[in-house]
Amino acid sequence: MILNYQYRCYPETPQKSQLNSWLRVCQYWYNWQIGDRFRWWDRNRTNYVIPSGEFCCISCSLPPLELRDKPTFYSQKKLLPEKKKDLKIVKHSGELLDFSIVPSQTLQDVSKRVKLAFDRYIKGDINGSRSGKPRFKNRYRTLKIEAQAIKIKRIEKNWFYLSISKLGGWLKIRLHRPLPQGFSLKNILITRKADGWYCTMCLDDPSVPKISKDEIIPSWDNSMGIDAVLFEDNYLANSEGNKLPSVKSYRKNQTKLAKISQRKNTKEKGSKARRKLAKREARKHQQIARARKDHAYKMAHSLVHSDKKVFFVENLNLQGLRKRNKTKKDHQGNYLPNGQSAKSGLNKSWSDASFGQFFDIFSYIAEKAGAVVKKVNPAYTSQLLPHRDEFVFTDCSIRKYWDEIEKNWVDRDISASINLKRVGLELFPTINRRSGKIVKSQTNSTAKEVLAVLKRIPEAYALSLDERR
């Protein structure tokens, strides 16, 4: 199994200068390829020019057309030997750049990133969704170095030393966790972050087996449904009757972040004071992102340790949930209230929760533990009672429901997680989308198990007798 281990590295001062030079060359090479593709598009997308005369009363001088083949990954990569022969001058700054100081595989990886950016822009990804127009980079952060340019020099108790082609000296890396036994190194990524340099090592670990999703047959006992809550201090709810807390890292730090940003904006651009505040702002953003990622890993490990083999999660359109509301106009063209001011807070909460990152981390942790994560359609799962075919949670404000027949409280989020489990096991009722009526139901087959879960819900989520009245 391919694993990524990220460690803090401590390059010496000459090595830092050299790595920064590599990043500058890679930034220039990336932007040059982007501009070359845009130039080809502007000059070669049509070869038809209206002549001056009968149909065109305006005469103008056009630059001569430079018809050439479309730039591709291979055609742009072939230009590297020529660019290494002499120094390149940056037009706007007059800076001299030397392509020969950077490993060839690193420059080829930059060309690959340009290719992927344009492929996503033109064709879209595997789901058919297209990305935006590729943009020029004002900074470059990551260098990819292949295994043939790396030599492992020494491994001590807490330190790891690498020799990288064209980098003077040994790169010192701190091993805060041990490397797996019998690993093979594929490549490394050297990244410059707000607080220093980091090295991400791509390893092939033969001790972790590869498990196919089809090899595990889901059942009621070995599966779990997980619902994304995003209500108050709750983050997730599972079909075992438990709720997991939220961290809300951005909400807790947005006041401090706003003060730093306001102070930075009052300073003159290019001044030393502004650069210091920009570093503080970057570190605060890094702290927020790390707290969010750490929380995702802790939640993933706590779920995997439940000894379940199949986890059913919602297939959410997270990008659509964070979209702005459409504008509304009256018959005179004046704008009407569309509820965007209220939804902006909800959009911020969706971004702060970062469910997309959590589902990716959860899938990775589950795969390492020999389990699988499957996404299911969440339609009607939050409205229907899990033990009886009845729509009770018809509004988001209804968080709990008192069942007079079973004499117990039903939590909305716990109910949704159980229904997600039923969807994954193909036990959820078939509902006509147009009429909203249940066509086929197997609810009675799991009613006993569902009620056993609902009646084991902790007292923290149950109300007293006075509150029921």
* Spatial CA neighbour of 29 closest among 143, 147, 160, 159: 143
> What's the average model confidence in pLDDT over 6-29?
95
Between these two residues, 23 and 449, which has the higher pLDDT value? 23
In the chain, the percentage of residues whose pLDDT exceeds 70 is: 90
What phi and psi values does residue 398 have, to the nearest 5 degrees? -85, 105
Residue 275 lies in a domain: no
> What's the average model confidence in pLDDT over 341-354?
90
> What's the average model confidence in pLDDT over 1-11?
90
Between these two residues, 151 and 456, which has the higher pLDDT value? 151
Let me know whether 82 and 223 are in one domain.
no
Let me know whether 227 and 361 are in one domain.
yes
Which pLDDT does position 26 carry in this prediction?
96
In the predicted structure, residue 441 carries a pLDDT above the cut 90: no
Let me know whether 76 and 90 are in one domain.
yes
Let me know whether 400 and 436 are in one domain.
yes
Which pLDDT does position 436 carry in this prediction?
82
Mean pLDDT score across all residues of the chain: 87
Residue 268 lies in a domain: no
Tokens 């201090």: give the residue: 233
Let me know whether 135 and 29 are in one domain.
yes
Q: Give the pLDDT band of residue 184 (cuts 50, 70, 90).
A: confident
Cα–Cα distance for residue pair 393/397, rounded to 1 Å? 8
In the predicted structure, residue 302 carries a pLDDT above the cut 70: yes
Cα–Cα distance for residue pair 463/401, rounded to 1 Å? 11
pLDDT in tens, 275-293: 999 999 999 999 999 999 9
Q: Give the pLDDT band of residue 459 (cuts 50, 70, 90).
A: very low
* Three-state SS letters, 210-227: CCCHHHCCCCCCCEEEEE
> What's the average model confidence in pLDDT over 264-285?
95
Residue 272 lies in a domain: no
C-alpha to C-alpha distances, 244 to 114, 373, 383, nearest whole angstrom: 41, 18, 21
In the predicted structure, residue 462 carries a pLDDT above the cut 50: no
> What's the average model confidence in pLDDT over 63-80?
83
Let me know whether 98 and 238 are in one domain.
no
In the predicted structure, residue 58 carries a pLDDT above the cut 80: no
Q: Give the pLDDT band of residue 435 (cuts 50, 70, 90).
A: confident
Residue 121 lies in a domain: yes
Q: pTM to 2 decimals?
A: 0.83
Let me know whether 215 and 354 are in one domain.
yes
Which pLDDT does position 146 carry in this prediction?
93
The whole domain housing 105 covers 1-44+65-208
Position 374: which residue type?
K
Let me know whether 120 and 234 are in one domain.
no
Cα–Cα distance for residue pair 25/12, rounded to 1 Å? 20
Residue 87 lies in a domain: yes
> What's the average model confidence in pLDDT over 304-320?
92
Let me know whether 21 and 139 are in one domain.
yes
Q: Give the pLDDT band of residue 2 (cuts 50, 70, 90).
A: confident
Residue 178 lies in a domain: yes
Which pLDDT does position 262 carry in this prediction?
96
Let me know whether 316 and 198 are in one domain.
no
Which pLDDT does position 239 carry in this prediction?
92
Residue 432 lies in a domain: yes
> What's the average model confidence in pLDDT over 109-134?
84
In the predicted structure, residue 312 carries a pLDDT above the cut 90: yes
> What's the average model confidence in pLDDT over 302-316?
93
Let me know whether 220 and 171 are in one domain.
no
Q: What is the residue-wise DSSP string for 113-148?
A: HHHHHHHHHHT--TTSPPP------S---EEEEEGG
Number of domains in the chain: 2
Alpha-carbon dihedral sign for residues 193, 194, 195, 196? positive
Let me know whether 239 and 147 are in one domain.
no
In the predicted structure, residue 271 carries a pLDDT above the cut 90: yes
